[in-house]
Amino acid sequence: MTQKTELYVPKGATANDRYAVDIDPERAGWTHSSLRIVELGPDGTHTFSAGDSEWIVLSLNGGCTVQVSEEPGNSDGGGITEFQILGRESVFAGVSDFVYAPRDARVQIASGAGGRFALAGAKCERRLPARYGPAPEVPVEDRGSGTCARQVRNFASADAFACDKLITVEVITPGGNWSSYPPHKHDENRPGEETELEEIYYFEIDGPHGFGYQRVSPSREGGSEVLAEVRSGDAVLVPDGWHGPSIAQPGHTMYYLNVMAGPGSERQWRICFHPDHTEGYR
């Protein structure tokens, strides 16, 4: 962990003339995971270079056309591939379709009506083909029960959609409920038990005055620690440590996008639960 890194990233803290949120490995103090949020007005376009990372373009609201082409000088050939993302009205309206763009590509997003789009990225080695992920094929999981019930949209989990390093999912937590519970960690490579993954939480809360809370506690001496009140547009970085719970204000549904990647040779999501907080959990 880089102790100088601020793990709570309030809305606007990383904004620039291209992105409302712009978190890359250098900003986060780690090696793999990235998140950008691009906001487009009517007939807006945005072009970026994938560089040494793979990316998923995901609608937060609105639809768009995504063109994926070879970077100049790339010898792989292949020309331009175009995909249409139908999108959604909001993250609370349901799952969205999405597009995967490989490393060493040039990506253009164009939206006739405008919208907001998440770019979840991870530095990687392999160059996989550009692909479209249909919304009806996104596995949706009801996890937990009672006040720990939440919905997990596994659109690019390790076993649902092929990437080289990137793992990314969405979680919907009803108002008053806890998610990311019991607290868990994935900051060590222990074959068959735990994988080392850096993680970004990006939050949106239903309603203009909604908020939630995010906890990260140390799993080792000098490790990461956060207790943050989070609102729409905020993010929390988890380079290590026990993370959870994520708590939604009563009456306000909480959404978060998780972006994960790490140095392991296998793309897996293996976690270890906090031994002090599993008794009695259902």
Q: Each residue of 140-169: pLDDT tens digit?
A: 999 999 999 999 999 999 999 999 999 999
79 and 70 Cβ atoms separated by less than 8 Å: yes
3-class secondary-structure state, position 122: strand
2-11, 139-148, 240-249: segment of lowest average pLDDT: 2-11
Going by C-alpha positions, the residue among 116, 120, 127 that lies closest to residue 52 is 127
Bridging pattern class, strands 150-156 and 167-173: antiparallel
3-class secondary-structure state, position 252: coil
Q: Cβ atoms within 10 A of the Cβ of 196, count? A: 17
**Is the confidence at residue 53, as pLDDT, over 70?**
yes
**Is the confidence at residue 233, as pLDDT, over 90?**
yes
Phi, psi of 47 (to 5 degrees): -125, 135
User: In a 10 Å sphere around its CB, with 0-12 CB exposed, 13-18 middle and 19+ buried, how is residue 217 labelled?
Assistant: middle
Going by C-alpha positions, the residue among 151, 89, 98, 118 that lies closest to residue 233 is 118
Q: What is 8-273's CATH topology?
A: Jelly Rolls (2.60.120)
Domain ranges of the chain: 8-273
**Is the confidence at residue 11, as pLDDT, over 70?**
yes
3-class secondary-structure state, position 106: strand
Tokens, residue 110: 């164009």
Going by C-alpha positions, the residue among 182, 206, 169, 173 that lies closest to residue 90 is 206
231 and 9 Cβ atoms separated by less than 8 Å: no
CA 194 to the chain's CA centroid: 19
pTM (predicted TM-score): 0.95
**Is the confidence at residue 99, as pLDDT, over 90?**
yes
Q: How confident is the model at residue 27 (pLDDT cuts 50, 70, 90)?
A: very high
